[in-house]
Amino acid sequence: MFSGEQIASLFASLGLTHVLTVPDSTIGRWENEIESSGISIVRVCREGEAWAVAGGLYLGGASPIVMIQCTGLFESGDALRNMLHEWKLPIYSMIGYRSYLNQDTLPGDTTLVFTEPILAAWKLDVRLITQPSQLPVVAEHYRECKAAAIPGVALIAEGKA
């Protein structure tokens, strides 16, 4: 979908300071370029940690983003609930949507069943990104969420494309 250079350039243009991440085979390939751009990578052991570390960073004046796969979103529930909905910290996330682009060739991944309903249940403002041409949509959405001081999600389709 996107190259590491594109993501690093995007994050730098948004003024992000830290990326909280557990890699998957798509987003993990962006790490080197992100680090090379001067943005700090914080590798957490499980995705729930990412929201709380991001919360601390935000409270301390930094500009973090959570970058995980949708399976990590499933793992993240209570931390996400607390940070985003109780403390109302407007943390933006980029979530890899596993198998979205492989639905014809590799059907049956239950992440396709649960990801969008779970994001809806968490009452998050989501942009589904399915085309490489949509990179500017992520930037626009981030800025909208920042201006409104609300959390947001760029849901990045993963798979063969």
Residue ranges binding another protein (CB under 8 A): 18, 40, 42-46, 48-49, 51-62, 64, 78-79, 81-83, 86-89
Question: Based on CB atoms, which residue is closest to another protein, 9 or 63?
Answer: 63
Q: 81: which DSSP letter?
A: I
Question: Based on CB atoms, which residue is closest to another protein, 91 or 135?
Answer: 91
Direct distance between the N- and C-terminal alpha carbons of the chain, in angstroms, rounded to an integer: 6
Question: Based on CB atoms, which residue is closest to another protein, 88 or 143?
Answer: 88
* C-alpha count within 13 angstroms, C-beta hemisphere, residue 46: 8
Question: How far, in Å, CA of 103 to CA of 99, rounded?
Answer: 6
CB of 104 to another protein, least distance (A): 37
Query: CB within 8 A of 34, min separation 6: which ones?
Result: 4, 7, 8, 11, 19, 41
Question: Based on CB atoms, which residue is closest to another protein, 81 or 143?
Answer: 81
CB of 40 to another protein, least distance (A): 7
* C-alpha count within 13 angstroms, C-beta hemisphere, residue 133: 0
Q: Under a CB-based contact definition with an 8 Å cutoff, are residues 17 and 65 in contact? A: no
CB of 41 to another protein, least distance (A): 10
CB of 136 to another protein, least distance (A): 28
